[in-house]
Amino acid sequence: MSNFLHRLLGREPAPRLIEEDVDLEQFFTDAEHACQVFEELVSAERLPKRLLVIHGVGGVGKSTLLKMYRLSCRRQRIPVALVGGEETPSPVDMLADWADDLSDDGVTLSTFQSTLTHYRALQAKVETEAKKASQAAEKLGKAAAKTAVEMAASAIPVVGPLASALGGAGAEAFVDWLRGFLSKPDLELYLDPTKRLTDDFLSDLTRVAARQRVVLMADTYEQMTTLGDWVRDLAQRLPENVLLVIAGRAMPEWERAWPGWMGQAEIVKLEEMTPDDLRTLVHRYYAHIRGGEPDPRQVEAVMKFARGLPIAATTVVQLWVKHGVEDFQAVKPQVVADLVDRLLEGVPPDMQPALEAAAVLRYFNADALRALLDSGDANELYAELRRWPFIRPRREGLAVHSTMREMINEALHVRTPKRFRALHDQATVYCETRLEKATGDERERLMLERLYHRVRADEEAGIQLFEELAEELVHYRLVNQLRALLNDVNAYPLEQENSCLWREYYNARLAHLEERLADAENMYQTISENERVEPKLRAYALCDWGQVLSHYERLGQSGGIEKATSILERSLNLVPLDFHLVRSFFHLARVQRYQAKWDEQTAFLEKATEFFEQRKDEYGLAYVYSEMKRGFARRGLWRDLFITQQRLEDLSCSLPEAAVLKSKILMWNWSWALVGRLSESEQNARESIGLIRSLDDPVSMFHVLRDLGWVLGYQGRYIEANRDGSLRCDIDEIFVG
């Protein structure tokens, strides 16, 4: 019977309880204070605090506590949603999972769900169009990525890695290709859906919270490394009647961006269990899985072994009851390998390989286990593992509790490094096999899993793959996918310094894309000044640091020109030139333009031209010719201007029709007017207006309208120049609308 019919008949429907939560309640112990704090918050007529932060070491019971919170909310019919950091690598995933949970409580976020559905449809549409483009290229027998369409298609991460080297103007090629079948709003949603989906989620939530309390919870916050700023912003924007609960191993670091945030939060630290509480837990768990009272001597042995960690206690009780293991001697404190060794000693021989394989995989099903095991019935082992206390359900299957997984992986790495690497190699192959047929979200998840296992098996090779993926995402400005990638990689236990620095570098690139220039510049400088960093990484960091320094406001500072020039020149002297470092020529050209050193500007652009010509990168050439044309126009070098314009027009014949490229060819019409080509200048300006309107580019529109008005006035057509109400409407619509 639906909730509506229940209310119509005057009966409230029974709360929808999760079986796992009810099961855990049977032996849940300790955390009375944390439970009391939560109950006082959710039962208050008006929330006294908008945040509840739970923190403590791994394995201390944070995840279990959140499940008890969820159970309490469900019994009180308070809509509640719980997500885990390991399952939500991006804001989109986190919002989608919250919305799914809330829907189980009868809460529908209609606007958000509509936008999310539309975003998923856009992803599928782009993927379909990319495959069509690739298939068309194959039929024509062309080399991969020779045309802009092919290059753009091969660049889409959900379709496959970049088939050719990344070009200096490759991002424009990609975006132009997308514009061929996506509207401006759809393009913006596809490239970075976070803002619109967040706004829609909050709008819907505000409507719901106006009539009832809502609780949102996020577990394993320490794994949300690239989501911290977004979560903080979300917390500040949540409706008054919504409680946000965050659990992690450490406190959020929000004080700088949100001074005084702790004044709006209840903060609870979970400690290791006291001996009395741990003893109670052992008794309750024993009674839950077997019934009756345990042997007191064994209870004390379990307590010594567990060292205050509830997850260790429930695990050894499981071994004791199900497999008759009774020798749990105390181990040296804080020695993880010893603890895991003792655990594995009590596991039946046929289960040990399965347990190790399950811990190597971040989530698993029977098929994944089968791929990593040499023997044994994978289905039977999977069924047995799902009954263990440290196994958690995940959307994709099952997963070993993060603390236990870390401990088993570390012990395996120390004890049998060859087996550790072999298991991760097998997991990599398994992911690559599934990737061949995967699409959409499944493909993105598998790409992350493949990268994780590649890094764990061979860190150097894995970081090289990470660099390729991250560079591609930065180059095409796919911010949401970059956040998801970095959120995952930031949690990897890297061992090599350069691996860590590559990771920090791409975190800086994300900050750069998000306009957090101070954070980005600080990391670029740190990497550039590190004497131990590998040359390629230093060159990249210098190039991007130089880009920040070449902004006009920085060049105007004392010593700004010299500093920017020095940094950019150093970036070009460390390693052979590639598609990333060629951008240093453009930045150096901008420094020269700032000083009106036109010959020097042209010289740098000619070096970029030579690079693109050697690699037959037509979009790169189009970009550099456009920059050269503008420089010639400013200097009045009409012959060079017309030669460059002809080169641009010739290129446009070999490239697909693209609004951005076409607008570049038609721009800077004032130069045409100065040499008396007034009719051509007017025609170009009017054609540009239509193109730029489709691009929704207010800055370019302003320039084109200015040029058109000047050209009309230059011909004495003052009424037309002043009249054009439609053009004034264009300005109003673009800048106001």
What SS3 class is residue 349? coil
Is 122 within the bounds of a domain? yes
457 and 425 Cβ atoms separated by less than 8 Å: yes
Question: Average pLDDT, whole number, for the chain?
Answer: 81
Note whether 117 and 59 are same-domain residues: no
Q: What is the pLDDT of residue 345?
A: 63
What SS3 class is residue 667? coil
Tell me the chain's radius of gyration from C-alpha atoms.
30
pTM: 0.77
Residue 674: band (very low, low, confident or very high) from pLDDT cuts 50, 70, 90 = confident
Q: Return all residues near 679 (Cβ < 8 A) that are at least 6 apart.
A: none
Q: Is the pLDDT of residue 669 over 80?
A: no
CA 476 to CA 156: how far, in whole Å?
Answer: 9
Note whether 393 and 290 are same-domain residues: yes
Q: What is the pLDDT of residue 685?
A: 80
Q: What is the pLDDT of residue 519?
A: 93
Among the residue ranges 248-252, 435-439, 450-454, the one predicted with the least confidence is 435-439
Note whether 60 and 144 are same-domain residues: no
Quick one: average pLDDT of 440-446?
84
Is 598 within the bounds of a domain? no
Q: At what angle do helices 560-571 and 583-594 cross, to 10 degrees?
A: 160
Q: Which of 109, 92, 172 lies closest to 661 in space, CA to CA?
A: 172
Q: What is the pLDDT of residue 191?
A: 85
Note whether 162 and 238 are same-domain residues: no
Q: Return all residues near 283 (Cβ < 8 A) that are at least 6 apart.
A: 293, 294, 299
Among the residue ranges 134-148, 207-221, 524-538, the one predicted with the least confidence is 134-148
Note whether 176 and 277 are same-domain residues: no
171 and 475 Cβ atoms separated by less than 8 Å: yes
**Number of domains comprising the chain:** 4
Q: Is the pLDDT of residue 291 over 80?
A: no
Residue 101: band (very low, low, confident or very high) from pLDDT cuts 50, 70, 90 = very high
Better-scored residue on pLDDT, 73 or 139: 73
CA 509 to CA 554: how far, in whole Å?
Answer: 19
Q: Is the pLDDT of residue 606 over 90?
A: yes
Quick one: average pLDDT of 77-81?
93
Quick one: average pLDDT of 715-732?
61
What percent of the chain is modeled with pLDDT above 90? 38
Please report, for the domain that includes residue 691, its CATH number. 1.25.40.10
Q: Is the pLDDT of residue 698 over 50?
A: yes
CA 376 to CA 383: how far, in whole Å?
Answer: 12
Note whether 310 and 387 are same-domain residues: yes
Is 480 within the bounds of a domain? no
Q: What is the pLDDT of residue 501?
A: 97
For the segment 316-341, what is each residue's pLDDT rounded down to a tens digit?
777 666 656 565 554 443 444 455 66
Better-scored residue on pLDDT, 215 or 58: 215
CA 622 to CA 651: how far, in whole Å?
Answer: 7
Better-scored residue on pLDDT, 5 or 595: 595
Q: How far is CA 524 from CA 3, 512, 515, 539, in A?
A: 56, 10, 14, 10
Residue 46: band (very low, low, confident or very high) from pLDDT cuts 50, 70, 90 = very high
Q: How far is CA 614 from CA 143, 318, 646, in A?
A: 16, 66, 20
Which residue range is the domain that position 705 belongs to?
Answer: 616-736
Residue 472: band (very low, low, confident or very high) from pLDDT cuts 50, 70, 90 = confident
Q: What is the pLDDT of residue 528?
A: 95
Q: What is the pLDDT of residue 6?
A: 40
Quick one: average pLDDT of 237-242?
94
Q: Which residues of 362-392 are buried (b: 16+ CB within 10 A; e: fewer)?
A: bbbebebbbbbbeeeebeebbebbeebbbbb
Which residue, 415, 437, 458, sits at the end of a domain?
A: 415
Is 119 within the bounds of a domain? yes
Q: What is the pLDDT of residue 737?
A: 33
Residue 213: band (very low, low, confident or very high) from pLDDT cuts 50, 70, 90 = very high
Please report, for the domain that includes residue 74, its CATH number. 3.40.50.300
Note whether 402 and 282 are same-domain residues: yes
Note whether 322 and 374 are same-domain residues: yes
Most confident option among 126-140, 405-419, 493-507? 493-507
Is 689 within the bounds of a domain? yes
223 and 86 Cβ atoms separated by less than 8 Å: yes
What SS3 class is residue 576? coil
Which residue, 194, 228, 259, sits at the end of a domain?
A: 194
Better-scored residue on pLDDT, 81 or 313: 81
Note whether 103 and 117 are same-domain residues: no
Q: Is the pLDDT of residue 512 over 60?
A: yes
User: 737: buried, middle or exposed (CB in 10 Å: 19+, 13-18, 0-12)?
Assistant: exposed
391-394 vs 214-219, strand pairing mode: unpaired
Q: At what angle do helices 352-360 and 417-435 cross, to 10 degrees?
A: 60
Residue 183: band (very low, low, confident or very high) from pLDDT cuts 50, 70, 90 = confident
Is 199 within the bounds of a domain? no
Quick one: average pLDDT of 616-627?
83
Q: What is the pLDDT of residue 723?
A: 66
63 and 254 Cβ atoms separated by less than 8 Å: no
215 and 78 Cβ atoms separated by less than 8 Å: yes
What SS3 class is residue 655? coil
Q: Is the pLDDT of residue 216 over 90?
A: yes
Note whether 101 and 118 are same-domain residues: no
CA 711 to CA 723: how far, in whole Å?
Answer: 14
Note whether 292 and 342 are same-domain residues: yes
Q: Return all residues near 171 (Cβ < 8 A) that are at least 6 apart.
A: 475, 476, 477
- Max CA pair span of the chain: 104
Is 551 within the bounds of a domain? no
Q: Is the pLDDT of residue 521 over 90?
A: yes
**H-type helices in 615-724, by residue range?**
618-635, 638-654, 659-666, 670-674, 678-695, 698-714, 718-723
**Phi, psi of 701, deg, nearest 5:** -60, -40
- DSSP for 538-569, please give it: HHHHHHHHHHHHTSHHHHTSTTHHHHHHHHHH
Quick one: average pLDDT of 645-651?
83
Quick one: average pLDDT of 438-444?
81
Q: Is the pLDDT of residue 736 over 50?
A: no
Most confident option among 158-172, 544-558, 691-705, 709-723? 544-558
What SS3 class is residue 399? strand
What SS3 class is residue 326? coil
CA 466 to CA 491: how far, in whole Å?
Answer: 13
What is the sign, positive or negative, of the torsion defined by CA atoms of 576, 581, 585, 591? negative
Is 674 within the bounds of a domain? yes
Note whether 290 and 384 are same-domain residues: yes
Which residue, 415, 436, 459, sits at the end of a domain?
A: 415
What percent of the chain is modeled with pLDDT above 70? 81
CA 15 to CA 586: how far, in whole Å?
Answer: 62
